[in-house]
Amino acid sequence: MSRTALPEFLSNAAVPTELQSVILGLADVSVTISQALAKGALAGVLGAAGAENVQGEDQKKLDVIANDLIKDALAALPAVRGLASEEEPDVLACHTDGQYLVTFDPLDGSSNIDINSMVGTIFSVLPHTGSAAVTEQDFLQPGRQQAAAGYILYGPSVMLVLSTGNGVAMFTLDQDQNRYLLTEADINIPVEAKEFSINMSNQRHWVAGMQHYISDLLLGKEGPRGKDFNMRWVAAMVADVHRILCRGGLFTYPWDSRKPEQAGKLRLMYEANPMGFLVEQAGGEVWTPEGKILDIQPEHIHQRVPVILGAASEVKICVDYHQR
Ligand code: AFP
């Protein structure tokens, strides 16, 4: 069976050449990252790097390796004006006439690395509309302005999931030829949910709205929702969102009282916005308890946000519980 390769897909979709170069650059470097992940202990890449990132989180060796690989690959592309990464304290300026800014989480779910479970790379591409010298301010655009967003899921197969604002497509890495081939187009999240995804161990720390919502899901057929729900939690947002794009459901990482000063755990500019772009493009909804995530005006590059995303009707129900 002949399948469409990623470069051909991008040309057929009339994606601007410069944006194509950014997406293809990310696709190429993800092959190298997937090879490092596959070698694992044999290449001595597992375990802690012995340093903390700007968020105060312990870095894994592979966090650092993936960050350096993506940074070098993107900085070499003339279309890239600037970069921002979860692993970098500040934004980095690249080419002075580049058209795009890229934010990325080089290895999402990195606590899964040492247990040989799923991890991913998340990216968001924004148009550069600011001054000649790139500053953090240039990146602070609402998620709705993204030119493209996506992720690479390093699982049993390696998949690249992408939107350039015209639906969501999934590509699988052909590891014999190191190229991504289209395996699913026009992804649609079912409107009704049968599964939810939340770290239940934090239940006692959530606000009342989230406590009531989840309690009612757990009551199943006997409760007010009148049906049973299944639960899944991979602890890598990429893998949990991938499941939602494939078979529906709701994913949430809410605000909780363990760190009341933090709006949530997930980062707006390289987790919630790119995933939000994909989910909306697949017909789903992406909210905080107060409003749509893609409409948030960011205040800083490492900003955090509570996230409720997935099946449109279920996200609305969850938000309603908060607003009652
Ligand atoms: P790490 O990259 O530090 O493992 O964090 C992953 C993540 O940001 C997101 O991908 C998960 O959904 C979430 O955190 C898992 O958080 P818990 O460990 O609190 O369940």
pLDDT at 174: 98
Instruction: Look at residue 189 and tell me whether its pLDDT is greater than 90.
Output: yes
User: Atom 18 in ligand 1: which residue has the minimum CA distance?
Assistant: 235
Q: Which amino acid does the sequence have at 213?
A: Y
pLDDT at 81: 97
Q: What's the average model confidence in pLDDT over 298-315? A: 98
182 beta partners: 171
Task: Report whether residue 111 contacts ligand 1, using a CB cutoff of 6 Å.
Answer: yes
Strands 195-197, 230-231: pairing kind? parallel
Domain hosting 253: range is 195-323
Q: What is the CATH number of the domain that holds 294?
A: 3.40.190.80
Within a 10 A sphere around the Cβ of 47, how many other Cβ atoms?
A: 12
Can you read off the two tokens belonging to residue 169?
């497509």
DSSP tally for the chain: helices H, then strands E: 8, 15
For 216-220, the CB contacts below 8 A with 24+ separation are 216/321
Counted domains in the chain: 2
- Confidence (pTM): 0.96
For a pocket test of ligand 1, which of 114, 237, 238, 242 has the largest count of ligand atoms closer than 8 A to its C-beta?
Answer: 237
Q: What is the CATH number of the domain that holds 109?
A: 3.30.540.10
Task: Report whether residue 253 contacts ligand 1, using a CB cutoff of 6 Å.
Answer: yes
Q: Residue with structure tokens 């990216």?
A: 123
Cβ partners under 8 Å of residue 252, min gap 6? 196, 197, 198, 210, 306, 307, 308, 309, 318
Domain limit, last residue, from 184, 203, 228: 184
Q: Say whether both 111 and 169 belong to one domain.
A: yes
Q: Say whether both 201 and 87 belong to one domain.
A: no
Spatial separation of the C-alpha atoms in residues 22 and 25, rounded to whole Å: 5
Q: What percent of the chain has pLDDT over 90?
A: 87
Of the pLDDT bands very low, low, confident and very high (cuts 50, 70, 90), residue 137 is very high
Q: How far is CA 222 from CA 175, 215, 227, 286, 321, in A?
A: 48, 12, 7, 28, 19
For a pocket test of ligand 1, which of 52, 53, 111 has the largest count of ligand atoms closer than 8 A to its C-beta?
Answer: 111
pLDDT at 50: 73
Q: What is the pLDDT of residues 215-246, one digit of tens each?
A: 999 999 999 999 999 999 999 999 999 999 99
DSSP H or E stretch at residue 292: none
Q: What's the average model confidence in pLDDT over 62-72? A: 94
Task: Report whether residue 266 contacts ligand 1, using a CB cutoff of 6 Å.
Answer: yes
Q: What's the average model confidence in pLDDT over 98-110? A: 96
Cβ partners under 8 Å of residue 239, min gap 6? 109, 118, 119, 120, 153, 155
pLDDT at 223: 97
Q: Say whether both 43 and 132 belong to one domain.
A: yes
Q: What's the average model confidence in pLDDT over 13-30? A: 98
Q: What is the pLDDT of residues 45-55, one digit of tens each?
A: 777 877 777 77
Q: Is 312 left (phi over 0), alpha (psi -120 to 50) or beta?
A: alpha
